[in-house]
Structure 1
């Protein structure tokens, strides 16, 4: 393969499988075959590291304070202040967790693992007021991100965060709650149209008794489990939750559903049915081995086809992390990272609903596009940002209920970010032209108008700011 073509191929691979690639690394890998480059993503000795921002002691302390207040409606002034303090502490720890994960994505030597964790974070979308439970679920998604899908699915299903979010604590013998069973099939495994309402009712009975302890550990309670006979997918037996999961995975349509989700996240927002079917057949044959499936995806010729290169809108997290990694950005005031996520419409650990973020063109509207195009120059030059992008998910919910949301006051905030320009510029040969820098920083080809503008840049630094402020920089 021509080295220039390989350069573009490797750049595309790292853009989708990670958050970009440094110029020296790209130059080095472009001299090798793409199969050699893929080896970096599948090391045999990978050891995922958990996030440890929130301790179990934090969670226990908050639960004890909440338990003391109980469900009281008439609180004394002191109790009202105590409840406010509980919420404040939860919010502080949740923000710390959010920022720590974002910083890990910016600094990790294993961006593919974090990208896969980000994929599962959206696939198994979940909101919880307990930051320890949120961290626990995130660590489950990271630990099993590239392993066996069944193991990942079972562990997610047993996590306190998900059991709480989908009301399985209320799922009891003779009084089943169908919420978890419904979302398990509709959003996490097989998709709509491939099960009946009766399948939901019967499987909900199988998950009765799945609960968790105050210490945040899964607990099965036989006393509230329905041991009666259940009929699911045409089979009858005394099924428990894991038996239901096994039967869902035995259906090839589950492999198709998961493959379609992977395709739209890593390849193209508009799935190609033939490519999805090819991936699904392979996934089913490999018994849902995620690493094998991702290797197949990145090895396929269609992954590198022109229609799949530079055509996906970066999610807000991909945009923020990619920019920060490329320019070695450090944030003196981490709170700005929370504001960026909220304004751009992707706040980690706070999906809009159980379906997750819709992605694709929904990432861009008139207000968020203007903010996206301003952010690079402000981050790279330490400017001031006027935050007034997308609404908070809770505000959107209030609007949907025809209730008046809290007034949104645009927040002006100093970015207090430092790009390491010396380190960034040292990555490039001295004779590098601004147009060559554009070819590195952008996934789509630069059009003639912008190419002429970039060619006249005063310096590579000036060109870099211009390039990252272009609409094309929003694509990967």
Structure 2
């Protein structure tokens, strides 16, 4: 394998297992064995810095709740102010998480957590920043551990219990929403359970509630203690028993593995390969790290049919661009504008099924903005695009604060240093090999090379070529 081919392999790995790489990272990785590079990705993701925009303080929570009332009546103005303040804290949480993705050190953990955010889709209700903070940290902390631990932990998160209405699930008045989504979206997939299973499981989940200060609590007085029959088994089951039954079912391993395969490998599923991976996943007691390590070190992962087959999500695109060029936004909230305009705002999935992904990311308006985004960010060009309407007043107001022009700082020095010894005649291809999944066609090479004008300094040439390459449709692919 030539050094250039090796570097292309590393570019693909870093793009799929993280959010891309700098030229220096690709150069260093291309000198190591594949297994060592993959192992290093996991080692770098061992620590989990907490996201924190609010403190989990019981007395403060009670004080805030009390402050919403005046003379025993709900103060509507105070409520509006509280909702607005909470929405801004959720925005800050969004930006903190995006920073962690863009830093790149624990990129694999953050990439996997982004996958779980779509799998365990949860939208903030009442704009509660504490609940969303706990939910985000739970999926990040458990992202590379055991799926069994993650499933139990996220199912008990107040944000999820609230989003799926389990606070209203009580004996003699069961609410089936939580039980249905746990089966349909989190574990088995549609068609692998009966309506009777859902009704009985809903009874088992009665009593799974939460306190205003963000603690899971099992309220025995509202739990249905009677016998239930679920998946052919009968007993006085509780929620934990249902989770255990779902994990015992091999269909859960198959369903989750297939989603991971479509996210990391190819949207077109290789049934036999997914079956093999699912069997391994089940046998390993749902070890996520073991599954991913198998994928990333397998020859078939690097098959040409998989390269360039994944369309970057808006968050992947933004985090990757930031990481590759060390981009910092002087007004961080501009990134909210980008997310909303492209249709993926962290903590605001469109529904319980999460973002559909794939070709759904692309339409006529978003494709144009995607291809112009590098110019907007790297050249501070005027923005002539409006965010998509999603019916949420809070996300609309937060996006408007992004302004009509991005002010950014770009760490060009490190990027340029990687190409210091590259002759001018090879400069375009050398930069392209670090940014896009396919070799340039002759017409593309000629067009891109023309961006470097006579009389420009070496730095200016690199800036112009890089911006032009990032504006190609191929930059949208990994």
Give the structure, 1 or 2, with the largest relative contact order (CA under 8 Å, sep 6 or more). Answer: 2
Is 1:7–2:3 an aligned residue pair? no
CA distance in structure 2 between the aligned counterparts of 1:174 and 1:326, rounded to whole angstroms: 56
Matches of 2:84 and 2:391, distance apart in 1? 19
In the alignment, structure 1 residue 83 sits paired with structure 2 residue 74: no
Give the aligned partner of residue 457 of structure 2.
none
Aligned to 1:423: 414
Classify the secondary structure of the residue corresponding to 1:211.
strand
What are the within-5 Å matches in structure 2 for residues 34-45 of structure 1? 34-43=34-43
Among residues 458, 470, 473, which one is paired with 2:472 in the alignment? 470
**1:33-69 CA distance string (max 9 Å, x none):** 2111111122298221211112224755543344669
Q: Is the 8 A contact 1:434 1:457 kept in 2?
A: no
CA-to-aligned-CA distance 1:198-256 (integer Å, 9 cap, x gap): 00000001110001112211100111111111111111111111111111111111101
Shift of 1:276: 1.2
Q: Please name the residue that 1:171 is paired with.
A: 169
Instruction: Determine if contact 2:334/2:401 at 8 Å carries over to the other structure.
Output: no
The separation in 1 between residues aligned to 2:31 and 2:289, in whole angstroms, is 25
Q: For 2:100 and 2:44, how far apart are their aligned partners in 1?
A: 21
2:390 to 389, 392, 396: 392
With normalisation by structure 1, the TM-score equals 0.92
Residue range with higher mean Cα deviation, 384-393 or 155-164: 384-393
1:442 aligned residue (423, 426, 436): 436
Note the C-alpha offset of 1:426: 1.8
For 1:351 and 1:68, locate their aligned partners in 2 and report how far apart those are by CA, in whole Å.
35
Residue 26 of structure 1 pairs with residue 14 of structure 2: no
8 A contact 1:386–1:411 mirrored in 2 = no
In structure 2, the residue matched to 1:266 is 264
- CA gap of 1:471–1:298, structure 2 versus 1, over 3 A, is same
Return 5+ residue gaps in structure 2 as ranges: 453-460
Offset at residue 271 of structure 1 (A): 1.6
Could you tell me how far apart the structure 2 residues matched to 1:69 and 1:348 are?
38
Look up the SS of the partner of 1:236 in the other structure.
strand
Q: Distance in 2 between matches of 1:100 and 1:168?
A: 29
Q: Is the 8 A contact 2:18 2:111 kept in 1?
A: yes
Match of 2:51 in 1: 51
* In structure 2, distance between residues paired with 1:255 and 1:69: 54
Secondary structure at the residue paired with 1:351? coil
TM-score by length of 2: 0.92
| C-alpha distance after superposition, 1:347-370 (max 9, x if no partner) | 000000010000000101000000
Q: Distance in 2 between matches of 1:217 and 1:377?
A: 45
User: In the TM superposition, what is the alpha-carbon distance from 1:4 to its structure 2 partner?
Assistant: 2.8
**CA shift for structure 1 position 409:** 9.3
RMSD: 2.2
> Which structure 2 residues correspond to residues 186-205 of structure 1 after superposition, within 5 A?
186-205=184-203
Report whether the alignment pairs 1:109 with 2:105.
yes
Is the 8 Å Cα contact of residues 334 and 403 (structure 2) preserved in structure 1? Answer: no
Number of aligned residue pairs: 460
Query: Does 2:378 match 1:380?
Result: yes
Residues 106-141 of structure 1 show CA distances to partners (whole Å, capped at 9, x for unaligned) of 124111111111111111110122011001000000
Task: Extract unaligned runs of 5+ from structure 1.
Answer: 396-404
